[in-house]
């Protein structure tokens, strides 16, 4: 069981780690993943229920809170409120900081202190204190809470940097009144540090909101109301009040309120929200429709089959949220660093100050050298002031935010883009592992072929009417596609079906039943041999000939005697050959796996350009075949219909469940493709590669920024203001770089 929690108050990767640790300690919690970008925690429980109040208490004990309501309107209001709050803080910060900058200009340009030294320092301290303790108060509170919980976060670095700078102003002000030794004031810089920090927070909040637009878009697709018929009367009800079996009237231009079956009328439906396919799909009586899709040009009556959280759209939203909350293996390294980042920086800032104080001559020479080409270095400040200058820069330039946002923002945009194109990534790890795949195993029926077989040949040994009537009557209770094809064909030829008794399906072989009291066997050749059914030689040869034409054959026996052959062909999908050719171009080896006989499987393989075939395997044996390939050192992707192939999908390094609309087995694979064609697999691979490329870019720049900037700050080469601006830019850069994923071309 899993539950998604909306966390309030997180600002950096350290915050996310604190929440994760707190939730992990709750009894019954199996696994926790906290996403800084979406501000959500995905909690996986052990078997049984869990006390949700315990989860809330754990989060609150870490200094954060849980937002209860997570419907789309609430989320949008919350996001708008966060953005407005961040904007107001930034506005107030600069409203107080700009006068600081104007007051400092005469001293910087003409070395003139306006109003005298005491007034100058008093103004600097007052305005900077206003910035720090009014718009910056939440940052100070966050720093205090995280310190009390022994899990210092980024707020601690900003608070210490700005308060330390403000303290130097107080010392300088006291000196002006003869109450303290002379000291260079950084009070003006204190206010600017907080102003830059709040500006970065605002831009980051805005960028994160845009990056999460995909999930919000999905949540707004649901219809609000439904027109239904109850007790013979037409009425309008809220979608939340719909029940299974309610009959809905859907007119042209309206959204289909929930998943259902068409029971009257026909139309074309825009299913692009579910499949990414722009062409409308024709719907007639008996067809399934998906809630949230748009009826275009005809009135239909639709009987509801799923409501609430069971609908296709609700499951897609849940899957995307869970994927965004999951972690990519490469993130583990970044997590280990961010967990110790702030404490290390605090120690490093203290070491910086101590080093400047212990080796003043050495560092002074560096300052003199740097002053020759860096305008903001002033060796005349004195050793103590220079030590503070360097330590403050170290505090404010080091930021774990970029590291914490690197993976989740890319994953958030990638999974959202995938959902819009019918590619549902269930596990974040799939993004990284898919690029390592070298072998692609494809189920034949429904993956390479249409999965809608039809009867092509009837080879009767007895009377053909009896053969077809008995075969169709026997298969009428079967759910196998071949059985359905035989029944459909017989009905189309005008045969009336008879009742059957003692029906038994033998997995992977056939069925046995009784029709009008006579025993009927239908299945493959080995099934007949086990039942000691003798097949004439010329008919055995016809079986071979038909199977060499990529047709599946079933043999029929009535009362222990051979009765004839029915052959069924499953058309190959239009894009299968091209997709398999693309697999090869990508360096992947495609392999067919099927329960069908080897001759039929090879005939299909030859048509689509596959050399290796694994045939005649039962559903539970497919996972063994996957395991054999893995034991050879191969990285295997299994592509199947997500139902019969579930064990193999689970065993594979990556399981890709392929299907259409509501037929998608949503829990089967690491990736679920809504469209039923192999070109979607190519799109999924392109999306995976593009997303992982962004993750690597983000992590590289986050690490590179810290590796380069921290040593410069330590040596006194980085102005604290530039340090804070660079820190904010690094986080913003990660978010905007991730958003560029939305421009990726996924065309197969």
Unique residue bearing structure tokens 């100050």:
353
Half-sphere exposure of 305 (CA within 13 A, CB side): 16
Cα–Cα dist 14/154, whole Å = 7
Do the beta carbons of residue 410 and residue 698 sit within 8 Å?
yes
Residue 651 phi/psi, 5-degree rounding, is -70, -35
Question: How many whole angstroms from its chain centre is CA 255?
Answer: 26
How far apart CA 390 and CA 378 sit, in angstroms, is 12
Closest among 707, 36, 686 to 408, alpha carbons compared: 36
> Is 355:367 a contact under the CB 8 Å cutoff?
no
107 Cβ partners below 8 Å, 6+ apart? 113, 114, 120
Q: How far apart are CA 657 and CA 665, in angstroms?
A: 7
* Distance from C-alpha of 426 to C-alpha of 45, rounded to nearest angstrom: 18
8-state DSSP, 570: -
Q: Tell me the C-alpha distance between 610 and 639, whole Å.
A: 15
500 three-class SS: strand
Beta bridge partners of 4: 42
* Ordered DSSP codes for 215-274: HHHHHT-S-SEEEEEETTEEEEEEGGG--TT-EEEE-TTPBP-SSEEEEE--EEEE-HHH
Secondary structure in 3-state letters for 631-662? HCCCCEEEEECCCCCHHHHHHCCEEEEECCHH
Q: What is the DSSP letter of 745?
A: -
Residue tagged 């002074």 (tokens): 364
Q: Which of 443, 570, 670, 677 is the catalytic position?
A: 443
Strands (E) in 132-183, as ranges, are: none
Token digits of residue 538: 């010329």
What 3-state class would DSSP assign to 478?
Answer: coil
Give the count of beta carbons closer than 10 Å to the beta carbon of residue 733. 18
Task: Print burial letters for 356-367: b (CB count within 10 Å at least 16), e (below 16).
Answer: beeebeebbebb
Find the largest Cα–Cα distance for the chain.
120
The rounded distance, in Å, linking the Cα atoms of 602 and 582 is: 20
Does the active-site annotation cover 443?
yes
Q: For tokens 């995905």, what's the residue?
A: 42
Nearest Cα neighbor of 35 from 413, 317, 420, 425 is 413
What span, in angstroms and rounded, lies between the C-alpha atoms of 20 and 62? 10
Backbone φ and ψ of 365, nearest 5°: -60, -40
d(CA 723, CA 394): 8
The residues assigned a catalytic role are: 443
């Amino acid at each position: 069981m899993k539950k998604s929690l909306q966390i309030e108050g997180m600002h950096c990767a350290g915050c996310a780690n604190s929440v994760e640790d707190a939730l992990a300690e709750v009894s019954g919690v199996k696994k926790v993943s906290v996403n800084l970008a979406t501000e959500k925690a995905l909690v996986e429980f052990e078997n049984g229920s869990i006390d949700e109040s315990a989860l809330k208490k754990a989060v609150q004990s870490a200094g954060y809170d849980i937002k209860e309501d997570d419907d789309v309107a609430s989320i949008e209001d919350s996001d708008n409120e966060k953005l407005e709050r961040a904007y107001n803080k930034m506005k107030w910060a600069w409203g107080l900081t700009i006068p600081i900058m104007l007051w400092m200009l005469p001293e910087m340009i003409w070395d003139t202190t306006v109003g005298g030294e005491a007034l100058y320092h008093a103004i600097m301290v007052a305005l900077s204190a206003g910035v720090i303790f009014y718009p910056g108060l939440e940052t100070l509170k966050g720093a205090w809470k995280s310190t009390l919980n022994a899990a210092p976060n980024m707020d601690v670095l900003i608070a210490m940097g700005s308060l330390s700078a403000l303290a130097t102003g107080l010392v300088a002000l006291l000196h002006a009144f003869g109450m303290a030794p002379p000291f260079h004031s950084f009070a003006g810089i204190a206010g600017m540090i907080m102003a830059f920090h709040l500006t970065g927070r605002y831009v980051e909040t805005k960028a994160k909101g845009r990056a999460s637009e995909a999930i919000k878009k999905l949540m707004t697709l649901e219809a609000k109301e439904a027109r239904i018929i109850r007790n013979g009367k037409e009425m309008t009800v809220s979608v939340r009040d719909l029940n299974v079996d309610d009959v809905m009237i859907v007119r042209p231009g309206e959204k289909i309120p929930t998943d259902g079956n068409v029971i009257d009328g026909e139309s074309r439906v825009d299913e692009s929200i579910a499949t990414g396919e722009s062409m409308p799909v024709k719907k007639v009586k008996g067809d399934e429709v998906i809630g949230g899709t748009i009826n275009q040009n005809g009135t239909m009556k639709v009987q509801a089959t799923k409501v609430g959280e069971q609908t296709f759209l609700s499951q897609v939203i849940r899957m995307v949220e869970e994927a965004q909350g999951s972690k990519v293996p490469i993130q583990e390294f970044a997590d280990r660093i961010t967990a110790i980042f702030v404490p290390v920086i605090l120690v490093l800032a203290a070491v910086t100050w101590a080093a400047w104080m212990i080796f003043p001559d050495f560092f002074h020479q560096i300052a003199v050298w740097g002053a020759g080409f860096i305008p903001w270095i002033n060796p005349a400040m004195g050793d103590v002031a220079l030590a503070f200058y360097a330590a403050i820069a170290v505090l404010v330039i080091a930021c774990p935010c970029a590291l914490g946002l690197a993976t989740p923002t890319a994953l958030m945009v990638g999974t959202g883009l995938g959902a819009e194109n019918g590619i549902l990534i269930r596990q974040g790890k799939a993004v990284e592992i898919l690029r390592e795949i070298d072998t692609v195993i494809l189920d034949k029926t429904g993956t390479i072929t249409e999965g809608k077989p039809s009867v092509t040949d009837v080879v009767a040994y007895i009377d053909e009417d009896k053969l077809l009537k008995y075969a169709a009557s026997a298969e009428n209770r079967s759910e196998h596609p071949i059985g359905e094809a035989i029944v459909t064909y017989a009905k189309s030829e005008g045969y009336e079906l008879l009742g059957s008794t003692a029906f038994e399906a033998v997995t992977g072989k056939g069925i046995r039943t009784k029709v009008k009291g006579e025993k009927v066997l239908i299945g493959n050749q080995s099934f007949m041999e086990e039942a000691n059914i003798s097949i004439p030689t010329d008919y055995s040869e016809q079986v071979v000939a038909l199977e060499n034409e990529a047709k599946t054959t079933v043999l029929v026996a009535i009362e222990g005697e051979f009765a004839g052959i029915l052959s069924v062909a499953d058309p190959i999908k239009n894009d299968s050959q091209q997709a398999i050719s693309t697999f090869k171009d990508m360096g992947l080896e495609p392999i067919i796996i099927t329960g069908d006989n080897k001759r039929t499987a090879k005939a299909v393989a030859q048509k689509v350009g596959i050399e290796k075939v694994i045939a005649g395997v039962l559903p539970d044996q497919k996972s063994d075949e996957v395991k054999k390939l893995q034991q050879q050192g191969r990285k295997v992707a299994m592509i199947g219909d997500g139902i019969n192939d579930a064990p193999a999908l689970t065993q594979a390094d990556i399981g890709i469940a392929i299907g259409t609309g509501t037929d998608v087995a949503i829990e089967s694979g690491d990736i679920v493709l809504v469209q039923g064609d192999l070109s979607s697999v190519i799109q999924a691979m392109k999306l995976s590669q593009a997303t992982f490329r962004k993750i690597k870019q983000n992590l590289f720049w986050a690490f590179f920024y810290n590796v380069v900037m921290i040593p410069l700050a330590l040596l006194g080469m980085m102005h604290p203001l530039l340090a804070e601006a660079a820190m904010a830019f690094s986080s913003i850069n990660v978010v905007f770089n991730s958003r560029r994923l939305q421009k990726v071309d996924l065309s197969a």
